[in-house]
Structure 1
Amino acid sequence: MKVVPTVSVVIVAWRARDHVLRCLESLERDAGLAYEAIIVDDGSGDGTPDAVRQRFPAARVIAKTANEGLVAGRNTALEQVEARFVLMLDADTIVRPGALVALVDMLERDTGVGLVGPKLVYPDGALQLSCRRYPPPLLPFLRRGPLARLRPDPPAHRRHLMEDFDHASARPVVWVAGAAQMWRSDLPRLIGRYDARVSSYGGEDLDWCLRVWEAGLRVVYVPQATVEHVWQKVTRRSLYGKASRRALRDHFYLQWKHRGLRCDPILERANR
């Protein structure tokens, strides 16, 4: 008889074969509950689909012929999930023992919680800041361009990154990094699919979390769950580079899209 998985783990990958294999190895070793793995290969051309099928035959692999982007890959995977919960993982993550169990436990204990995120750490164990307050409207100009040269690390940016939070206790936050997010599989029926108009790194995760809040649910950080994330900081970019222009467009699009949420009392605790 087929075992119904508790969690559908979704990984969208592009030229990340070795990372994907290491991530799946960590799940196989330490998941602690029944899960299914859904791998969306975004036209990598690096042998990821064949490598996954060979090493992890139980995994479901969706091999695209072209790189359609993260949002399209996630929306494709949403059509395939069978479990009660969905864990969206970046390819360059390693799931630590007990992480899935802790995230599921939070969602099962509190129906008012719509999305949870674990504590993220670097490979050396150092904390990776993964919680965010609501982004200030002028944040891109504070981080890049002439203002950034005058003050490279402005207080508004540090507050946005929640550097004042010790990351040791569970609490509601405006949004958590998309490297690892878990939610109930019926969430898309409530808030819709990922917004294809958002294409900058991290923009889709902010939008997803804000839509959770708008649906009357909470986003909660759960430090009892730990996920290692091999994330590399990007060198400070020009305000006028292609990636920065895309991020700037998405920033103001999301400020407009969620314009009624910024001062909504529902975010009061999360924005403290």
Structure 2
Amino acid sequence: MTEPKPLVSVIVLTWNGIRFLSGCLGALADQTFRGFEVVLVDNGSDDGSARYVQEEFPWVRVVDLPKNLGFAEGNNRGLAAAQGELIVTLNNDTLAEPDFLAELVVAAERCPDAGMIAALLVNFYDPERIDAAGIAPGADGIGYCLGHGAPVGRPWDEPRDVFGPSAGAALYRREMIDEIGFFDADFFAYGEDFDLAWRGQLGGWRCMTAPRAVVRHVHSATSGTGSPFTIYHIHRNKWYVLLKDWPTRLLVKHLPRILLADLAAFLVALLKGRGGAAGRARWAVLAALPRLLAKRREQAGKKFPIPLERLFARGVLLATLKRKLGMR
């Protein structure tokens, strides 16, 4: 007798993250919602992650890739193996609360026009502080994690419309993915969830939060905060999103702030000894410009389900720059 397909497929991507897998997969094993499968994508690890999971968690389907294809394409490979109608992406450096999947499913069923559901990521070491309650673009062109550093509670404890979810713990409806595609492999890592949120919004799909779908998250555990790899991809992919997704009217309206913020980010990178990575990122954008403009043409004429600027993150640029510079 053929087993019914699971409603939910959880895609966990790992790259040399064997130290996190026992906690991450063990928390999934303890979920109160049971109609799910787990697809673990091993992104070319050399620490024995794939074998460890096959031996210790035989109920997990393992997709063993020969090399690191990045967060975006790694998750795409996981999607190809997934059977569920609801796709959950989950970082390997997380611990999901027992009702995590149940709350995501309830939120998806409550809002059938929402193609994206944002879980609540909290700081792994200080779970009373928010890591991300969704994501949103700022008028300065920078992508922000909503609520980052704020205490858990109001105003983040009620479901709300947001621009998109952080892919570290997110639910995506397969119906939406079939229409607009999943992650853009050109991003490799960082910003691919912003790009997907833009495409979802442009395709008429809302994003709602599920504040009781809680996950503890170790921020930037794989690539490292402030590493040249991180600086390069964040600086490059910010412009990928701007050139690929932003409607012309908004791009022109906010261009002075976007350029000022970009200059500030470049100066911060120089002060922190990461000017080379920041400079390479901008040359990479110029090299990719024809490809980005071709993708931009695919977005032409699409409209958002609700007024876009209602979902922008506001008033966070100065605070972010102060934090990066170590200022109070």
TM-score range, shorter chain: 0.7 to 0.9
CA contact (8 A) 2:130 2:149 kept: no
**Long gaps (5+) in structure 2:** 251-303, 314-328
Distance in 2 separating the partners of 1:261 and 1:134: 15
Distance in 2 separating the partners of 1:159 and 1:36: 29
Alpha-carbon deviation of 1:126?
2.2
Q: Aligned AA for 1:255?
A: L
Alpha-carbon deviation of 1:136?
3.1
CA displacement, residues 153-208 of structure 1 (integer Å, 9 cap, x when unaligned): xxxx798969697311111111222210102223221111311221342x001111
Identity of aligned residues (%): 27
Q: Aligned AA for 1:129?
A: D
Match of 2:72 in 1: 71
Query: Given the alignment, which residue of 280, 300, 308 partners 1:267?
Result: 308
Matching of residue 127 in structure 1 with residue 115 in structure 2? no
Alpha-carbon deviation of 1:15?
0.6
Q: Aligned AA for 1:16?
A: G
Distance in 2 separating the partners of 1:242 and 1:23: 25
Distance in 1 separating the partners of 2:247 and 2:179: 19
Query: Given the alignment, which residue of 231, 234, 245 partners 1:247?
Result: 234
Match of 2:296 in 1: none
Q: Aligned AA for 1:12?
A: L
Distance in 2 separating the partners of 1:46 and 1:68: 16
CA contact (8 A) 1:132 1:161 kept: no
Match of 2:56 in 1: 55
Alpha-carbon deviation of 1:220?
1.3
Match of 1:166 in 2: 155
Match of 1:104 in 2: 105
What SS does structure 1 have at the residue aligned with 2:137? coil
Alignment TM-score, normalising by the size of structure 1:
0.83
Distance in 2 separating the partners of 1:179 and 1:158: 11
Alpha-carbon deviation of 1:97?
1.6
Match of 2:269 in 1: none
Larger RCO, structures 1/2 (Cα 8 Å, 6+ apart): 1
Q: How big is the alpha-carbon RMSD for the aligned residues of Structure 1 and Structure 2?
A: 2.7
Match of 2:46 in 1: 45
Match of 1:226 in 2: 214
CA contact (8 A) 1:134 1:262 kept: no
What SS does structure 2 have at the residue aligned with 1:166? coil
Match of 2:89 in 1: 88
Seen in structure 2, the aligned counterparts of structure 1 residues 158 and 109 have a Cα distance that, compared at 3 Å, is: closer
Using the TM superposition, name which of 161-170 and 245-254 deviates more: 161-170
Instruction: Considering fraction of residues, name the structure with more helix.
Output: 2
Alpha-carbon deviation of 1:268?
4.0
